[in-house]
Amino acid sequence: MFFSSKNVNSRNNIHVKLMNSLRFLLVFLLFSPALVFSQANYDESKVPGFKLPDPLISFRQRKIRNVKQWEKTRRPELLDFFTKNMYGEIPGKLEISSFNILEQGDDAFNGKAKRRQVELTFEKGKHKIHFNILMYLPKGVEKAPLFLGYNFSGNHSVASDPHILISTAWVEDNPSLGIINNQFTEQSRGAKANRWAIEKMLDAGFGLATIYYGEVDPDKEDYSDGIQPFFYVDDQKKPADNEWGSVAVWAWGLSRAMDYLEQDQDVDAQKVIVFGHSRLGKTALWAGVNDQRFAGVISNDSGCGGAALSKREFGETIKLINTSFPHWFCKNFKNYSGNEKALPVDQHEVLAMIAPRPLYVASAEDDQWADPGGEFLSVVYASPVYKLYGVQGITQTEMPAVNQPVMGPVAYHIRSGKHDVTEFDWEQYIRWAKQYIQ
């Protein structure tokens, strides 16, 4: 048979296309959620032997004996390490340019609460961004303590309150649902109300402030949107290897929300508890570490890169998280993908940097991907730092029974059920916040 060069080229083209498709299929299969999930280790007997770094021994092997040494030497060196090698540095300073009360009312939740929707605006050069804080404040409390946390599905998803404004960022992120006033959009109003026990918070005298996380940085591997480009120098296209990933960006946004809350007459800014679920739990922890104005921190099912110990390599690992979500942490963190042994720190030291402020870590029994065992041990191994401050941590090393919270200024529970935020979780957080924050 005879082939002209054209035939050969087209055969080659077909071959190249076929190979590309196969390659695509292979990559897809290798990183498809189901496969990634099943690649993980869920067997306690296969957890590798590891030595956990002692939060009270400095990198130069000095024993840390008191709060002063912790605050002067050890905490700063840990903070520096986690900043440059994991979450990423914030490349500059940016303050709220203006804020604007878009809407308020005092008839929410059958007259129990005031509702306030505040738009924060940030401007720098040609860049401009807004994000909206939705607040519910209990009536009859002069300055309310509150929970501050991001939501995944738009402010309008947290309650079926027709007055909640739908943000354009949420509309853009959800093109199939996103035409305002279209039926689907309205269906998503209140769609995640089950994750926010707002009435329970109000009844206990707490308020809620929440923000759609995609307004601060859309959750995709795209470094041209959100707040990151505000700091690019010259023709920079993405953060440098040591600069902030999305978790640090979102944490930054919580601090800016705190800047606003400090100016709101109806809020007790000394009693703001930062809360987050899952990737937003990782965010809440990092926000709590960096911003000591937060009076307490709640991590709900935060898992890898949050409360769970990395060195256990149980469930999601550094390699898996860096592969599926390359934009969450800084590029330097990829040095530890499949290389947990080289890490001179672990996540218990993130928790330790929250001391002496109250901390609540929670897991779910069926959420093995987030390694409940590693989340619990992390709290245990952070506890010596709390002890240094004379605050009771958690000393028992065996995992508590399911649905039996260990309460104290440092609290932990594992509840039955899946990766989620439930009524049970909020009942415990509110009980704990009443005792240790309010």
Q: How far is CA 291 from the centre of its chain?
A: 14
Q: Which strands make up the sheet holding 98-107, listed edge to edge?
A: 98-107, 113-124, 127-138, 207-212, 144-151, 267-277, 296-300, 359-364, 410-415
Select 300 or 383, whichever has its Cβ closest to ligand GCU.
300
The Cα-based distances of 435 to 40, 204, 300, 341, 358 in angstroms read 38, 11, 19, 39, 10
Structure tokens at 164: 């909640």
Structure tokens at 203: 């009844």
Minimum Å distance from CB 71 to ligand GCU? 30
Is 419 tagged catalytic? yes
CA angle 80, 341, 347 (to 5 degrees): 45
Q: Residue 52 gets which letter from DSSP?
A: P
Q: What is the CA radius of gyration of the chain?
A: 23
CB neighbour list of residue 61: distance below 8 Å, 6 or more residues apart: none
**Active-site hit among 278, 310, 363, 378:** 278
Select 255 or 324, whichever has its Cβ closest to ligand GCU.
324
CA angle 9, 11, 17 (to 5 degrees): 100
Contacting positions for ligand GCU (CB under 6 A): 278-279, 303-304, 316, 321, 324, 369
* Bond into 356 cis (ω within 30): yes
Torsions phi, psi for 335 (to 5 deg): -60, -20
Is 378 tagged catalytic? no
Minimum Å distance from CB 305 to ligand GCU? 6
CB neighbour list of residue 234: distance below 8 Å, 6 or more residues apart: none
Minimum Å distance from CB 303 to ligand GCU? 5
Select 119 or 316, whichever has its Cβ closest to ligand GCU.
316
Minimum Å distance from CB 285 to ligand GCU? 12
Minimum Å distance from CB 106 to ligand GCU? 34
**Active-site hit among 188, 324, 337, 419:** 419
CB neighbour list of residue 224: distance below 8 Å, 6 or more residues apart: 237
Select 99 or 152, whichever has its Cβ closest to ligand GCU.
152
Select 244 or 369, whichever has its Cβ closest to ligand GCU.
369
Minimum Å distance from CB 3 to ligand GCU? 49
Structure tokens at 350: 């993130």
Select 261 or 308, whichever has its Cβ closest to ligand GCU.
308
CB neighbour list of residue 316: distance below 8 Å, 6 or more residues apart: 40, 303, 304, 308, 369, 370, 371
Is the separation of the CB atoms in 208 and 224 below 8 Å?
no
Select 88 or 138, whichever has its Cβ closest to ligand GCU.
88
3-state secondary structure at position 214: helix
Minimum Å distance from CB 247 to ligand GCU? 10
Catalytic residues: 278, 419
